Structure 1
Amino acid sequence: GGGESHCPRDASYKDGTLQVDLMGMDGVIGVQETEEGWLALVEPRVTMQTLVRATLPYGLMPPVVPEFRHITVGGAIAGIAGESGSFRHGFFHDAIAGMEVVLGDGNIVTATADNEFSDLFFALPGSYGTLGIITAVTIRLVAAKPFVAMSYEHFDDVLEFALHLANGEKREDLDFLEGIGFSSSSLVACEGRMVDTESAQSGIFGDVRRLN
């Protein structure tokens, strides 16, 4: 946000354009329980690392947390972001309950899925800042545990690998699922579930990492 990017693309195409400085909009405004469940209200330049560190003390986390810790909330919406929780929860923006947006005419509106600005709410993800400037975001949160137990399963057949990943949505024991393909005959399914203790291992789940 604010003209900054992690994209390796040459940024000279922005020369001569008007850029809005959002560098100071990097605060977590609050985390609270509501009738709709637990919500976090944050500014657009809050990074995933900052967001998770603010929610974990409550035993909560966003449903989808992009792996790159310096991706911002605004960037994850404007550019669309997914991660290993996406097989269950969709993209990062699918957990958004509302957004405060500055429009091109200077008006400030709040867009939600069911108010008069619902068309803007659904159009903003993937719009790369062309429809307005996001200045605040309300995010739905889900329960978290301190550790993630991981397992890795190797495949040498693409179809078998794809079917395994497709069936992952039906498995209630999984919280995280993603696949890595090194070649058509070397593919790995990465599976994770949240656990309470570092020693809470069972079955094929062996590698336990702290969630932070």
Structure 2
Amino acid sequence: MSNSTPSRRRVLGGIAATAATVVGWNATTQTWATAAESGRGHGGHGGGQVAPVPTLDGTLKTSGAELAPFGQDFGRLVTDALPWAVLVPGSDRDVVAMVNYARANNLKIAVNGRSGTGDDIESHSSYGQASVRGGISIDARGLAKIHSIGSTTATVGAGVTWGQLTDAAAPKGKMPPAVPDYLHLSIGGTLSVGGIGGTAGKYGLLVDTVRSLDVVTGAGQLVTTSPTVRPDLFNAVLGGGGQVAIILRATVDVIPLKERAVIFSLYYNDVATYMADSEKVLADGRFEVQAGELQRTPDDTGWRYKLEVGAVYNGTAAPDRAALLAGLRDNRADAVIEDMTYRDYNFRLDAAEAFLKETGYWFQPKPWLSMFLPASKAKQFLKIAEAELTANDLGAGFLLTYPYRTSKLKRPLAVQPNEPVAYLFDLLRFPHPGEPNIQGMLEQNRRLYDKAVSLGAKRYLVGAVPRMTETDWRRHFGNRYAEFCNAKRRYDPAGILTPGQGFFG
């Protein structure tokens, strides 16, 4: 049974042959076999034994038109990643069956989040992390049911988005405590990488709000896991990049609904003052939401910093704005203060998404870079970034940077700098349409990554850093790498899950 990746010609030839109903996989020819072909000769076209596809409650798609949307992702940097089949699961047993089928036939398998808005439904990995070229992709939309919303928790399918959960919980007077900045992401996908948003300083990462998981391991076992039931599996799934199990369902925290928010956008001319105020409000906890951004100045001659903080309230009990701003040293004349529904704040990027789509930016290659910086070195690194980056390097994108307490982050594979406070550095590029220097931006990412790591930084498991080696990942995970390898061997012994991450070479 060959481990080699077949040629594009063979792949496309195999796809063309699947207009008829597929009945199995021919391990000899590394193609799908139709009913007519499997009836010839010795069980398949070109000879070889055909392994019958198991009976499914859902659908296994194998035609070219059905596979094409799974051949690239949001980042548009990996575009030749066509799977050989897409499973839209109709039940848990479908996932179990196809994982076992993949194992038996030496095929890779990975979940594709398939989230977004309107007709733009896609994987939101940015460098092929969810790709499974020549393997089986699982469409998470088959796992998009909200099962229950209770007084303290909600149980949802992995394909449900945080936006869908937010809107379903609101009529019950509930909300998730932590959400990503862009809510139209699948819950399973964000839990696989950690998940971060503006409430990290208060609630930690999204993985820190998970009570339990229902998963299918790479060994084909359906398992419920939690901090007290198979904790080694629980800890290897959350922030583990899809290496040990496929998430079917998650039970996550919900809290009482916050109706409104006063959002303060405060501006700073220098990084030192920005960091001092950011760490001040983080320490005293006066805000529910805390984010921040490195922006171009209004005259586009340099950089400035924006501290974005929010105080939430219900009814008419609006917070005291003067008290909230006491002791801060921003350029107060530039401050922008808005009172809005908390839902409108959480969905604030919808307008930006609409603009990026209308102007073509959304559909360009996007070399993102996401890091966690130790607070003691954040100023040094941000000064490096100021000198290195230009307006063109951002395009229509964003550069988020703000502090949070590492003690709030409990899941071991969401590895952090070894300091009480760390800073997110999230370079979310949307290059200008037709930008010729995408490769140069990727090389810039590598330079910034190497410098940040030399200062004690860690990666967030999204973004695009070229030439990541097993040595790089071993250094990233540090003393948790050996335990991660053990979990991989224990729960995915054939090594079939989510090859796009490349953690193990």
Give per-residue Cα distances to partners, 1:135-179, cap 9 Å, x unaligned: 010001122221111011111121221122222233343100011
- CA distance in structure 2 between the aligned counterparts of 1:29 and 1:3, rounded to whole angstroms: 30
Aligned to 2:246: 133
Aligned to 1:190: 308
Higher alpha-carbon deviation: 17-26 or 127-136: 17-26
Mapped pair 1:67 → 2:181: yes
Mapped pair 1:6 → 2:124: no
Q: Is the 8 A contact 1:28 1:41 kept in 2?
A: yes
1:169 alignment partner, SS class: helix
Question: Bigger relative contact order, structure 1 or 2, given CA contacts below 8 A and separation 6+?
Answer: 1
Aligned to 2:435: none
- The 1:178–1:46 alpha-carbon spacing in structure 2 relative to 1, beyond 3 Å, is same
- Segments of 5+ residues of structure 2 without an aligned counterpart are 1-69, 82-131, 297-301, 323-335, 344-505
Give per-residue Cα distances to partners, 1:105-146, cap 9 Å, x unaligned: 21111111112x101111212322221110010001122221
- CA distance in structure 1 between the aligned counterparts of 2:342 and 2:170, rounded to whole angstroms: 9
Deviation (angstroms), 1:201: 5.4
TM-score between both structures, scaled by the size of structure 1? 0.87
Deviation (angstroms), 1:57: 1.8
Aligned to 2:341: 210
Aligned to 2:219: 105
Give per-residue Cα distances to partners, 1:29-78, cap 9 Å, x unaligned: 00113xxxx00000001111101011122222112111212111001111
Sequence identity percentage: 21
- CA distance in structure 1 between the aligned counterparts of 2:144 and 2:309, rounded to whole angstroms: 32
Aligned to 1:16: 134
Mapped pair 1:30 → 2:148: yes
Higher alpha-carbon deviation: 86-95 or 4-13: 4-13
TM-score between both structures, scaled by the size of structure 2? 0.38
Q: Indicate which of 85, 91, 113 corresponds to 2:205.
A: 91
Aligned to 2:327: none
Aligned to 1:44: 158
- Segments of 5+ residues of structure 1 without an aligned counterpart are none
Deviation (angstroms), 1:3: 8.5
- CA distance in structure 2 between the aligned counterparts of 1:138 and 1:30, rounded to whole angstroms: 9
Deviation (angstroms), 1:12: 2.1
Mapped pair 1:174 → 2:287: yes
Counterpart amino acid of residue 27 in structure 1: K
Aligned to 2:190: 76
Deviation (angstroms), 1:198: 6.8
Aligned to 1:122: 235
2:143 alignment partner, SS class: coil
Higher alpha-carbon deviation: 52-61 or 90-99: 52-61
| Number of positions where the alignment pairs a residue of Structure 1 with one of Structure 2 | 206
Aligned to 2:54: none
Counterpart amino acid of residue 10 in structure 1: V
Higher alpha-carbon deviation: 167-176 or 102-111: 167-176
Higher alpha-carbon deviation: 192-201 or 163-172: 192-201
Q: Is the 8 A contact 1:144 1:194 kept in 2?
A: no
Aligned to 2:501: none
Query: How large is the RMSD of aligned CA atoms in angstroms?
Result: 2.3
Aligned to 1:145: 258
- The 1:128–1:140 alpha-carbon spacing in structure 2 relative to 1, beyond 3 Å, is same
Deviation (angstroms), 1:85: 0.5
Aligned to 2:318: 200
Q: Is the 8 A contact 1:3 1:19 kept in 2?
A: no
Larger helix proportion of the pair: 2
Alignment of 1:150-165 (within 5 A): 150-165=263-278
- CA distance in structure 1 between the aligned counterparts of 2:237 and 2:194, rounded to whole angstroms: 10
Counterpart amino acid of residue 197 in structure 2: E
- The 1:134–1:63 alpha-carbon spacing in structure 2 relative to 1, beyond 3 Å, is same
Q: Is the 8 A contact 2:311 2:319 kept in 1?
A: no
Counterpart amino acid of residue 179 in structure 1: G
- CA distance in structure 1 between the aligned counterparts of 2:140 and 2:307, rounded to whole angstroms: 38
Counterpart amino acid of residue 142 in structure 1: I
2:202 alignment partner, SS class: helix
Larger strand proportion of the pair: 1
Higher alpha-carbon deviation: 48-57 or 166-175: 166-175
- The 1:29–1:7 alpha-carbon spacing in structure 2 relative to 1, beyond 3 Å, is farther
